Amino acid sequence: MKVTLDEVAAKAGVSLATVSRVLGRRGAVAESTRAKVLEAMSELGYSRSTLLHDAPRRLVAVSAPGNPEHWQVQVCTRVAKALQDHDLLVTRPLVETDPEPLQTAIDAGAVALVTTTMTSLNTEIPCIRVAEQSATEEADRPGTGVAVTAAAGAHGAGAAPTASGVTGTGPGNADVIAARLDLGGGMTTAFEHLRAIGHRRIGLICNDSGELAVQLIRRFLAEHPARNLGLNLEDWISRVPKSFSGGSRAVLELKDATCTAVIVQSALQLHGALHGLRNRHLQVPRDMSVVGFGDSPTMKFTGPPATVLGLDVEGLSNALIDATLQTLRISTTGLPSVPPVFRPRLVARTSTTAARQ
């Protein structure tokens, strides 16, 4: 009588997914667990067909955070396509807000997670991601200090040391930093642009949750041109849901707080901000200058076209792709010892103008 995998799992006292990972030699499985599965297979007389290939294609989870920004979706789409072109299977779970889809992918044998989430997800497989460029890491860049290098331990079949970013061994320490996003530099660029045209009372509209919002607020407080004037800059920060109505409400609150310009995290909030100002019979940029974070096709067609801090979507995508292929030993091309840093660049359109005196 044919022995099933369910019977092997029951005999070994493990899940069916664990048996699948042992057979496919993929994913992280403790040696003691692997031994129990192999022993159960032997006792039950289970044999795998020799016509089957050994783990012919590896599974990679490519994921944006929950409620992602447009640039995060763009990057994940590019990464997923490139990895499929390298004969990898790709799944697209949403992570951060709900870890269950990611765990399901890991249980199914995912050997790596590639994500635009800017925080550690404490995964048991390599997490290849983007991080913020901090002041400490700025000192580690070539020519400014000692470069940061690290090597990852093997996290499942195919995982390999990487030269890019900081990694480690064991659950919660499997991060591979493929690229860094210079949010501080981007915020400085926005402030310099607005200061050059006479703005000092600059506000921030950001999401009321999420790692990106936390980082933007921190950088806003650290880089604001009025930070040394004894003002309470928290009064110029509006944390609202990532929604049209959130942006509409927030911009009017900041206008009442006497702000003359705002930096806006999401496209939905920016569209709402423009609508809210129009409803109060205010004009952009005459009564309020607006700068968006991240470009998207709709930003060229807002009323007026939005000035934005654009991100290098292609560069970020390529950095994640290269780090993934190197981590999985598909590519032998060495990565730089220090991950590339991407600074948002200003795309000046007509939603900003000189402050009214």
Token reading at 89: 């299977």
Residues 6+ positions from 119 with CB-CB distance below 8 Å = 96, 211
User: What's residue 297's pLDDT?
Assistant: 87
Kindly list the domain boundaries of the chain, sorted by start residue.
Answer: 5-44, 59-181+314-342, 184-310
139 or 304, which is more confident? Answer: 304
Q: Is the pLDDT reported for residue 283 higher than 80? A: yes
Residue 304: cis peptide before it, omega within 30 degrees of 0: yes
Average pLDDT of the segment spanning 142-165: 36
User: What's residue 150's pLDDT?
Assistant: 31
* Nearest one of 238, 227, 159, 234 to 195, comparing CA atoms: 227
User: What's residue 140's pLDDT?
Assistant: 45
Q: Is the pLDDT reported for residue 66 higher than 70? A: yes
Average pLDDT of the segment spanning 266-270: 95
Instruction: Tell me, yes or no, if the two domains 59-181+314-342 and 184-310 fold the same way.
Output: yes
Query: What is the model's pTM?
Result: 0.75
Q: What angle do CA 213, 208, 123 make, to 5 degrees?
A: 60
* Nearest one of 28, 181, 47, 37 to 107, comparing CA atoms: 28
Report the CATH architecture of 184-310.
3-Layer(aba) Sandwich (3.40)
Average pLDDT of the segment spanning 89-114: 80
User: What's residue 146's pLDDT?
Assistant: 29
**Beta-sheet strand order (sheet of 341-342):** 89-91, 59-63, 110-115, 127-132, 175-181, 341-342
User: What's residue 49's pLDDT?
Assistant: 47
Q: Is the pLDDT reported for residue 325 higher than 90? A: yes
Q: Is the pLDDT reported for residue 347 higher than 90? A: yes
Q: Which CATH class is domain 59-181+314-342?
A: alpha beta
The DSSP secondary structure of 64-109, one letter per residue, reads PBSS--HHHHHHHHHHHHHHHHTT-EEE---BSS--HHHHHHHHTT
Q: Is the pLDDT reported for residue 292 higher than 90? A: yes
The overall average pLDDT reported for the chain is 83
Q: Is the pLDDT reported for residue 24 higher than 70? A: no
Residue 285: cis peptide before it, omega within 30 degrees of 0: yes
Q: Distance (Å, rounded) from C-alpha 10 to C-alpha 18?
A: 11
Cα 278 to the center of its chain, rounded Å: 33
Q: Distance (Å, rounded) from C-alpha 127 to C-alpha 167?
A: 9
Q: Bin 323: left if φ > 0, else alpha if -120 < ψ < 50, else beta.
A: alpha
Residues 6+ positions from 216 with CB-CB distance below 8 Å = 183, 187, 204, 206, 265, 293
User: What's residue 342's pLDDT?
Assistant: 97
